[in-house]
Structure 1
Amino acid sequence: MNVYSDLKQGERGAWVSIIAYIFCSALKIGVAVLTGSAALMADGLNNSTDVVASIAVLIGLRIARKPPDRDHPYGHFRAETISALVASFIMLFVGLEVITGAIPTLFDTNHTAPDLLAGWTALATAVIMLGVYRYNHQLAVKTNSQALLAAAADNRSDAFVSIGTFVGVAGAQFQLHWLDPLAALVVGVIILKTAWDIFREATHRLTDGFDEGQLEELKETIFSISGVKAISDIKARYHGSSVLVDVVIHVDPQLNVVESHTITENIEERMKRVHKINTVHIHIEPEQQLAKR
């Protein structure tokens, strides 16, 4: 399965998220209006941002599937990461809106407890989102899609948010009226935390950041290949969900071109099989060249 078919399968997960979020958002906001639950309203608004975020992921996956052209010789894979960055800004805006709306209600002594229907609605949608999380997580692992893996994590956090909403509404039934707006405030903080995590990861990848520990694992894999005497340089960066690796290896200077080429093929095969990395640029130098550096 190549990267383009993986992206196409990833679109299915984005569509599942969009449909689930539209249903949950409409249901929560409607019930929140009827019951007066600030927590459920915040939860519904959270899901509405997830609709936009999932659409952004879907658009990013669609653009990323476009083949390389004259202006984009490496393809359009980074569109997937850019879409996640856009989604983080949308979530940041809504998170701030939820918090600024929850704080005055928290200190409003006239705020009444919402109907328990709001709590049962939150609990039912939590079950739905846990199902969506399970589906998207399995699909993300199968297709190696980082965007879909992030979407799955968002699905799971949304399920936990809805469970928290249920607790807030249920607690408000026992004259703890402040629990409902407090739950709304917590939802707002969770939205901001999720937005920050997505923003941090997206900007890290767009600026060619790469985890040092993972880079060391790649180096160990390459060094384990027969014929590789030393590695003088290795770099890696993300290109959407794909990883690009540049490495300088040193081999026996007595090897001919065919023997050296066989080593590079073994490296490419091992990197694809072990790390699911399809693009490795390998520069070969003679072993004694290392001593001159």
Structure 2
Amino acid sequence: MVKCVERKGKAEAGAFISIVAYVALAASKLFVGYIAHSDGVKADGWNNLSDVIASVAVYIGMKIAKKPRDHNHPYGHSRAENISSLIAAFMMMSIGIDVMVEGVSALLRPEKRGNAPELSAAFVAVASAFVMLFVYSFNMRLAKRTNSQALTAVAKDNLSDALVSIGTVIGIAGVQIKLLWLDPLVAVIIGGIICKTAWEVFMETSHTLTDGFDEQTLTAYKHEIAAIDGVKDVADIKARMLGNDIVLEVTIHVDPYLTVVKSHEIADEVERLMKKRYNIEATHVHIEPEKTP
């Protein structure tokens, strides 16, 4: 349990770094976007603002998830991270739709496009891309060390933001060569990326909250357990996510003439293997006698 809390504490650091980076980038992009007349940079700034909201929601969820078990939560508070991810997804979708509407309006009504964006807008977009690539690299490494699904999602969002900024630069460059429609078009694409990211977060989180689990991973667990000495058969196996932690339940058949002590040793070996090989802290083993002909 102590190690679990320590992992969650380290994952919080990644979410906090994302918040700081997004606040700085959102403020600079919205400011430069308005003074440099760039729809693409402004849309990118709104994208980062949505990421601030999403990262704050994830950060709060991580804080709540660290709370210990109590009489109302016998399994702890780990799923608070999942709930915060859902809230973040709805917020991101709302902002993404708004950015797309503004971009489409500028495309259909040229008089709303205003002046061509200045090159200073491109410089802030390039700097943003480098910053987000660094944050992505940091958070992805940290997510792997802490086994944090929430931080992995944050890292993927960091990468998408870097790509969005690169797209913004392309849009501004196009406008400099008199393709005035390219900058608002990039704004529409950015809005679409925000909505796509929000949908992916929503689907993944919903899958986890409804106790969905990868079938291939479960099959791998079954083969590992079946190979343990003394296990005659794996009658049933299922798993679910409890926050960032896997809870595994398995029913195995053993020799009906084994002593209770020996059967218990086999169950202990199953638990040790799953912890060593897959870092699963909670493996519940049910033992049944092998059916004889």
- Find the counterpart in structure 1 of residue 178 from structure 2: 175
Q: 2-side partners of 1:153 and 1:10: how far apart?
A: 14
Deviation of the 1:108 alpha carbon: 3.1
Give matches, 1:155-166, under 5 Å. 155-166=158-169
Aligned with residue 132 of structure 1, among 120, 132, 135: 135
Q: Whole-Å Cα distance in 2 between the matches of residues 40 and 17 of structure 1?
A: 19
Counterpart in 2 of 1:18? 19
Name the CA distance, whole Å, in 1 between partners of 2:125 and 2:79: 35
One-letter identity of the residue aligned with 1:2 = K
Which letter does structure 2 place at the counterpart of 1:171?
G
- Pair 1:280 & 2:264 matched: no
Structure 2 Cα separation of the partners of residues 172 and 248 of structure 1: 64
Query: Residue 216 of structure 1 aligns with which residue?
Result: 219
Aligned-partner SS, 1:2: helix
Q: What is the Cα-based RMSD across aligned positions, in Å?
A: 1.1
Q: How is 1:237-276 mapped onto 2 (pairs within 5 angstroms)?
A: 237-276=240-279
Counterparts in 2 of 1:32-51, with a 5 A limit?
A: 32-51=33-52
Shift of 1:212: 1.1
Cα deviation 1:8-47 (Å, max 9, x = unaligned)? 1101001100000000000000001101111111100000
CA distance in 1, matches of 2:180, 2:119: 12
SS where residue 237 of structure 2 aligns?
strand
Q: 2: distance between equivalents of 1:135 and 1:30?
A: 27
Q: Distance in 2 between matches of 1:65 and 1:6?
A: 10
Matching of residue 71 in structure 1 with residue 75 in structure 2: no
Alignment of 1:186 onto 2:189: yes
Identity %: 49
TM-score, length-normalised on structure 1?
A: 0.97
Q: Are positions 1:205 and 2:228 aligned together?
A: no
Opposite residue 242 of structure 2, the aligned amino acid is H
The count of corresponding residues between Structure 1 and Structure 2 is 290
Q: Which residue pairs with 2:54 in the alignment?
A: 53
3-state SS of the aligned residue for 1:228? coil
Q: Which runs of 4+ in 1 moved over 2 A?
A: 107-112
Unpaired segments ≥5 residues, structure 2: none
Structure 2 counterpart of 1:210, which letter? F
The residue number in structure 2 matching 1:99 is 100
* Cα distance in 2, alignment partners of residues 90 and 109 from structure 1: 29
TM-score, normalising length: structure 2: 0.97
Distance 1:160 1:221 in 2: 40
